[in-house]
Structure 1
Amino acid sequence: MASVLTADKPAATPAKKKQAWASSKSPKFVQGRRAFFKYRELGVTEASDGSMRAQVTSATQGMSRPTGWHYHVCESQLVFMLSGWVDLEFEDGERIRVEAGDSLYIPGGLRHNEIGTSDTFELLEVSVPADMGTVPCDAPTK
């Protein structure tokens, strides 16, 4: 029989997970996948015991060249553009521009290439799990 959640019977919280709060007044920056971007860690990796990562990625100069074809070793990745834009191409040939207010869900293993950005941008990225590998790969055949 399935358990029913009610206001007086909340879901059990795994012992290793905890609440996280990140203040914009004291941001914690970490090293990320690209040396030309800044990555602000939001504390979710530690709080979720590695089951999820949330960070804000920002740039103060546009990309000078595409990142190259790659895919991520993860379950999923969600991007929400806060400002600016990012252009991407995908293995099926689709090209999209993700602009401020847009979101993009990328399942793990989907080959893609970031081909351009606005001069400045900021995005929120969430990945499951937190430890998301990046694997370079060949461009898809057309």
Structure 2
Amino acid sequence: MLDRTSTLFSHVKAGEGDYVSGGLRDFFLYRDLGIAQATHGKVIAHLVKANMPPEEGTGWHRHEADFQIVIMLKGWARFMYEDKETLVEAGDCVHQRPGISHYLFDYSPDMEYLEIVSPADFKSIDVEPVCEIPKPTPWV
């Protein structure tokens, strides 16, 4: 049975909330969607958008999380998921299985995605490189 008492109703309108720096990556901006507060930390949902050109990318890492999806809303991004290059374009949804080693190394200037992760206070752990990373596409 669904427990309706441990979470709160939440509605964040399109114009509410600013994109801010200070998130997981300095070269992205983040807009909180109020889900972490509504779920008492069970889930986080935020919009992420490009802020600076991809110079070094995220580096190889994995997340200590039970669940993570990325839904690309605008533009594109190129990831390495273990040794497989993956182009994620607007409209695509990626489920990152728990513990998968990955590296976001390239993205378009208009890239914007929705990320949903559980728990809200998930950890990002640096890992040893899995393979060589292709060069990012220079922004013009």
Aligned equivalent of 1:94: 84
SS at match of 1:46: helix
CA deviation after TM superposition for structure 1 residue 90, in Å:
1.7
Counterpart residue type for residue 37 of structure 1 = F
Matched positions, count: 131
Change (3 A) 1:134 1:72: same
Runs of 4+ in 1 over 4 A off after TM superposition: none
* 2:59 equivalent to 1:68: yes
Unaligned runs of 5+ in 1: 4-10
Structure 1 residues 27-36 or 122-131, which shifts more?
A: 27-36
Q: CA contact under 8 A between 1:61 and 1:120: conserved in structure 2?
A: no
Match of residue 29 from structure 2: 38
**Unaligned segments of structure 2, at least 5 residues:** 133-140
- Normalising by structure 1, we get a TM-score of 0.84
Q: What is the CA–CA distance in structure 1 between the aligned matches of 2:131 and 2:87, rounded to whole Å?
A: 22
Which one-letter code corresponds to 1:76 in the other structure?
F
Q: Tell me how far apart the structure 2 counterparts of residues 50 and 106 of structure 1 sit (CA, whole Å).
A: 19
Asked if 1:133 corresponds to 2:132, the answer is no
Q: Distance in 2 between matches of 1:76 and 1:139?
A: 23
Q: Which residue of 2 aligns with 1:53?
A: 44
- 1:85 and 2:48 are equivalent in the alignment: no
2:135 corresponding residue in structure 1? none
